[in-house]
Amino acid sequence: MKVIIVFLGLLIVNVTFLTYQGDIGRYVHGQTILKATAEECAAGAALLLEEEAFSQGQIVFDKVAAQEYADGHLAYVMKGFDGGETAYYECALSFEDDECGYEANNVDQIPAVTATIKVKTGDLFRLPFFTVTDVVRKAKYELVY
């Protein structure tokens, strides 16, 4: 009887460990996808400049086109996102350019776009020990010229 109890205890611990390992692998994979998506949204948005201001020697981002690009790219990526039930996702862009101004820590006044992706999903872990429903990734792309 002792052997059966010890065996069942070890079996439960090992199944719990394997379930946690699979869930953390899925979580890391989702984080990697969202990191690449945030970098792509920031880089793509940084390439959309207002032509009139650029012809006058200023760097001004086309904020409407940049937000449309980021939203479209994020929607495309979220179709294949394996994060359980995705309830909500958004990509917020913040700009540093000649029109919006620069942050205090940007002393060289380098134009930049920061993309922040927020995803709300169902619980990413199957076990009751951890509950992760919000995933946030941020990426910054600077136009060094």
The residue extents of the domains of the chain are 2-142
pTM: 0.82
Backbone angles phi, psi at 44, to 5 degrees: -65, -40
pLDDT in tens, the chain (145 residues): 999 999 999 999 999 999 989 988 888 888 899 999 999 999 999 999 999 988 898 899 999 999 999 999 998 888 876 655 666 889 999 999 988 888 888 878 899 999 999 988 888 788 887 788 888 999 999 988 7
**Cα–Cα distance measured from residue 50 to residue 47, given in angstroms and rounded to the nearest whole number:** 10
User: Burial of 113 by CB count in 10 Å (0-12 exposed, 13-18 middle, 19+ buried)?
Assistant: buried
Q: Which of 37, 38, 65 lies closest to 49, judged by CA?
A: 65
**Cα–Cα distance measured from residue 109 to residue 16, given in angstroms and rounded to the nearest whole number:** 51
